[in-house]
Structure formats: C-alpha cells, structure tokens
Amino acid sequence: MPLVAHRVPVNAPAERLWAMMLEKVEHPERYVPGVVSSEILDRPEPGVVLRSMNLETPQGTKTIRELISWSEATRTTFFQLRGDPVYRGFVVNTIFETDDGCVLDYTMHWTPLEGVTPEAIDPDWQTRITAAVEHAKTQAEGAATS
C-alpha cells in the first residue's frame, strides 16, 4: 500500500508522449498537478538523474527525492524514491503502442516504512496518479491537434 495505477488511451503520437515524459523528468510541475518546484541534483550517467521536487498535499508540502532512469526502447521512465521518511518504492510511467493507438500508464508502488504511523500516510495517491495521467493525456492531445 499504496499500489495504485491509472491507464488511458491517448489520441497523440507515441513520439509526442515520449517527448513529454522526458520533459516531465526535468519539469514535473508542467505535468504533475500539485508540484510547486523541482531541482535536478545530479546526473550520474546518461539517462539517469537524481531529482528533488516539492509537492503540495493536504498534510503540507512533501519533498520527494527520486533517482530517475528511462528507456526509449521501452518508452518507460522509472522513478525510485530516495531517502523518504515515510515510504520506499517506485513509480513507473509507460507508453504502450497498440493497434488502436497509444496508451499511457502510471503505476505507483510505495510502501510505508516500518513504524510509520497511519496519520503520516497520504490516503489519496490514487486521485493524484489519476490526475497526473489525465493531465498528461490532455496536454498530449492538445499538442497533437495544434
């Protein structure tokens, strides 16, 4: 817990979605509702960054540090939590191409650390993941028709 996911068909080219996913690594505030700031802390190798971002939650601002890697071959980005006081885990964003078009999927697998009190756990991660995917879909489809 929480293991949450949201998947939607997107009426936009896979190349456009992939460009957005790469931009999301550098500028999550453009693609993730609630992100108020972010900073790339390190680029240890090509295709890998360490990022810090601040997310507004009902409990206040949460700083999230992630080691992010990506693969163009699989059109997947992998966001692994680093040093979080409440959770350990990861989020995976994937673009699937089907016979009917593209599908965008975000899957979050964060597990509370042992000893974390229930009130420290944000109960609304499903809503956040759903909002992020739907926001990306809207942006991709808007860009595709421009």
Of the two residues 30 and 104, the one the predictor is more confident about is 104
Residue 146 has pLDDT above 60, yes or no: no
pLDDT digits (tens, 9 = 90+) for 117-145: 877 777 788 888 999 999 999 999 987 56
Domains of the chain as residue ranges with CATH: 3-145 (3.30.530.20)
Integer angstrom CA distances of residue 78 from 40, 48, 64, 120, 138: 15, 10, 14, 24, 22
pLDDT digits (tens, 9 = 90+) for 17-42: 999 999 999 999 988 888 999 999 99
CA distance linking residue 98 with residue 14, whole number of Å: 10
What is the pTM for the complete model shown?
0.90
